[in-house]
Amino acid sequence: MNAGILTIGDEIVAGFSVDTNSVWLAQELLRKGIIVAVKASVPDDREAIEEVLARWDGQMELVITTGGLGPTRDDITKTAFCRYFDSELRFDEEYWEVLVERFQKRGFEIPGSNRSQAEIPVKAEVLPNPVGTAPGLKFQSGTTTFLVLPGVPMEMKAIMTEHFQPGLGDGEAISWTTVRTTGIIESALAAQLEPLVSSFEDIQVAYLPAYTGVDIRLRSSTTGDKGRKMIESAARKLEALVGDLTYGRNDASLEEIVGGSLTRRQETLALAESCSGGLTASRITDIPGSSAYMLGAVVAYDNAAKERQLGVKPETLKAHGAVSEAAAREMAEGVKSVFGADWGVATTGISGPTGGTPEKPVGLAFLAVAGPQRTVARETRLLPYRLPHKAATAQAALNLLRLEIMRLA
């Protein structure tokens, strides 16, 4: 089954918002064995929408659109579909009552503009929206199914999850997996893996670099059990070769992995962040249930804070500077002790744009982990640009924590 995803909205095309919907949708479809062949984005423009519908009608088995179903006058998607399918609208009293009630529960009176969201094309099937006001719609044209979804990510996901079950046997799903790595650049990783990768048959390998590491995606056109076994065997060989550079598969994240280990070990964590500025703590606390092991963090941007809140010695700062291995070690041990945690993690570095010197250039960072048995520290040279540097530092700190926990396991 092949599919096309069309995201609709002036804001998407003009660059006012990032399209995360099509990413989620493509992953969701891939899990169900459906490959997205093409994506497109058009403005809130009836003709531009109809042009894509006409091009994909018959060519794709599944077309999903997101966006343009809101209550305001710039939302035109429903109109475009009504015209393309030559369908009238009917006012759905029952659905209107649902909306009125939902607003009442949150303590609001429903604005009149929301009435348009209860107008349903007669040729469409309604896909109820469990978390928002715009229902999803389903149209059928020959062999092509059209799903029309709202642009608000949470609403789009809820409708897809509740209502979309493709009529496909498991056996037809294509086989793929992603091996996630961190701490090595793309070309070095590819060079290391080249002999293995060129021995693969019917397996495509793609390297997906990001500031936080390189993902390696393996895909085979062989379907079913046979394909799954081929991919699994290839992924294991690859994992054996890269060793502890890999931390997981697919959408695994370091915060989730570290969180899982700490939960199982019934150990606790505290963070001392300088250059990563709270980003590491924010990633840890993104995980549901993190309050079981996350005691807290000190973002010590200021030297005085490093001394007072974390017990870093003034002599250390004087002799080595705040961006030093010695300071990182004392920060990690300090935060561990102050919070009474089993693990303390520290970052200190120069994210820029200013603050660099010839000896300590922008991009430099030190990481430290103080654990139940020992304290380790690492010096790294990361990208000399502020946001990538923050992202890479947080990732490197979480990775060092992962490696230290593994050592004890």
For residue 54, state whether it binds a second copy (rule: CB under 8 A).
Answer: no
For residue 298, state whether it binds a second copy (rule: CB under 8 A).
Answer: yes
State the nearest-atom distance from the C-beta of 133 to a second copy, in Å.
8
Size of residue set near a second copy by CB under 8 A: 108
For residue 240, state whether it binds a second copy (rule: CB under 8 A).
Answer: no
State the nearest-atom distance from the C-beta of 87 to a second copy, in Å.
25
Stretch of residues binding a second copy (CB under 8 A), selected from 79-87, 122-130, 199-207, 225-233: 199-207
Residue 355 DSSP one-character state:
-
In this structure, is the dihedral angle defined by the CA atoms of residues 289, 295, 296 and 297, taken in order, positive or negative? negative
Question: CA 295 to CA 270: how far, in whole Å?
Answer: 6
Nearer to a second copy, 37 or 196 (CB): 37
State the nearest-atom distance from the C-beta of 68 to a second copy, in Å.
11
Residues 6+ apart with CB under 8 A from 396: 182, 183, 365, 367, 378, 380, 382
For residue 260, state whether it binds a second copy (rule: CB under 8 A).
Answer: no
Phi, psi (degrees; rounded to nearest 5) at 35: -95, 130
For residue 194, state whether it binds a second copy (rule: CB under 8 A).
Answer: yes
Angle formed by the axes of helices 21-31 and 153-163, to 10°?
Answer: 20
What separation in angstroms does the CA of 55 have from each of 12, 65, 123, 145? Answer: 20, 14, 20, 14
For residue 200, state whether it binds a second copy (rule: CB under 8 A).
Answer: no
Nearer to a second copy, 38 or 241 (CB): 38
Phi, psi (degrees; rounded to nearest 5) at 47: -65, -40
Among 1, 30, 196, 403, binds a second copy (CB under 8 A): 30
Phi, psi (degrees; rounded to nearest 5) at 369: -130, 125
For residue 288, state whether it binds a second copy (rule: CB under 8 A).
Answer: yes
Cβ-contact 67, 40 below 8 angstroms? no
State the nearest-atom distance from the C-beta of 233 to a second copy, in Å.
21
Cβ-contact 172, 166 below 8 angstroms? no
Nearer to a second copy, 18 or 409 (CB): 18
Nearer to a second copy, 87 or 223 (CB): 223
For residue 44, state whether it binds a second copy (rule: CB under 8 A).
Answer: yes
Stretch of residues binding a second copy (CB under 8 A), selected from 57-65, 83-91, 140-148, 352-360: 352-360
Among 100, 173, 383, 403, binds a second copy (CB under 8 A): 383
Burial of 257 from C-beta contacts in 10 A (0-12 / 13-18 / 19+): buried
Stretch of residues binding a second copy (CB under 8 A), selected from 5-13, 81-89, 227-235, 241-249: 5-13
Among 57, 215, 256, 307, binds a second copy (CB under 8 A): 215
For residue 279, state whether it binds a second copy (rule: CB under 8 A).
Answer: yes
**Cα diameter, the chain:** 78
For residue 111, state whether it binds a second copy (rule: CB under 8 A).
Answer: yes
Burial of 266 from C-beta contacts in 10 A (0-12 / 13-18 / 19+): exposed
For residue 294, state whether it binds a second copy (rule: CB under 8 A).
Answer: yes
State the nearest-atom distance from the C-beta of 125 to a second copy, in Å.
25
For residue 311, state whether it binds a second copy (rule: CB under 8 A).
Answer: no
Residues 6+ apart with CB under 8 A from 206: 216, 217, 219
For residue 277, state whether it binds a second copy (rule: CB under 8 A).
Answer: yes
